[in-house]
Amino acid sequence: MELRQLQYFVTVAQHGSFTRAAELLHLSQPGVSAQIRRLERELGHQLLDRSGRAVRLTSVGEAVLPHARAALAAAATARRTAQEFDGVRRGRVRLGMVAGAALSPPAALGTFPGLATTLAAFRQEHPGIDFSLAEDTTTRMLGGLREGRLDLAVIGLPTAASGREGDDGWTELSGLAVHPVLEVPLVALCPPDHPLAAANGPLPVAALGGHALVSTPRGTGLRTALERALAEAGAAATTVAVEAAAPPQLAELTAHGLGVAVLPDPGPSAGLPVRRLTDPVPRVRIALAWPTGRPPAPPTAALLAHLRSAYPGP
């Protein structure tokens, strides 16, 4: 018994005609008829009544038809399953990320691997999967995930994010799954001759009021965490004098005296005074995000599993 014989039988039974079945199968009518007769000989029963103008199922044919359809459905499922495994071997994943995510992390994060290191390890296991990497703000990346322009994203969130649209322009998180990767407090990095650099010990967030700050653009998790902490502390009017995309750029701008940077602790390599912030302690959470409304393609699912294993979370 061959699958093609079952397919021919099901098609003839559905349309009641050898001629129509042959047209749909792009075969000759004698070829279809011959294969079905071989099937009937193997089963030892006539499946189709050919005596009238229209072809009808015999009682045995009616009993066999559901099993023939089930066999064809099972074969189709097997083919799809095999194709999915093939899809894991080849494809492309569109990955969004906060600025600087591909760089090596600062010493303050210890042995936490950078995204470039993690992607390199994944590529060794799946050499046929390519990546399209794009840096952007979290707000725009969340939109890209919903609209199908991105498959995965490494985003930044303030730890107090409620997931609702607010005055800070934060984007709602509904329809997305979020896997926390790590959570870090923010510190104040000061120019050497800045008034806030002279004191020791924790620095209340309210003390930033009235000073020029250096931060990432609106729509990023770091900027949102800073603005929420300033509002909670009741800080005086504060200006973000210079915006830059990533923490290493913020540190460089601060080194040139352009303002106090609020960022994850860059460690001693920055060579600048660092003040721990308090009352409240602003924190930013790095997380993976992906849409929940559609199943991920096999390459995306494979990369997501790899990232979640590499970054089990806090």
What are the structural domains, with CATH classification, of the chain? 3-88 (1.10.10.10), 91-310 (3.40.190.290)
| Residue range 121-131, pLDDT digits in tens | 999 988 888 98
Mean pLDDT over the full length of the chain? 85
Q: H/E/C letters for each residue in the chain?
A: CCHHHHHHHHHHHHHCCHHHHHHHHCCCHHHHHHHHHHHHHHHCCCCEECCCCCCEECHHHHHHHHHHHHHHHHHHHHHHHHHHHHHHHCEEEEEEECCCCCCCCCHHHCCCCCHHHHHHHHHHHCCCEEEEEEECCHHHHHHHHHCCCCCEEEEEEECCCCCCCCCCCCCCCCCEEEEEEEEEEEEEECCCCCHHHCCCCCEEHHHHCCCEEEECCCCCHHHHHHHHHHHHHCCCCCEEEEECCCHHHHHHHHHCCCCEEEEECCCHHHCCCEEEEECCCCEEEEEEEEECCCCCCHHHHHHHHHHHHHCCCC
Give the tens place of pLDDT for each residue, 77-120: 777 666 566 656 778 899 999 876 665 555 444 445 778 888 99
Model pTM score: 0.63
What tens digit of pLDDT does each residue of 232-254 get?
A: 999 877 789 999 988 889 999 99
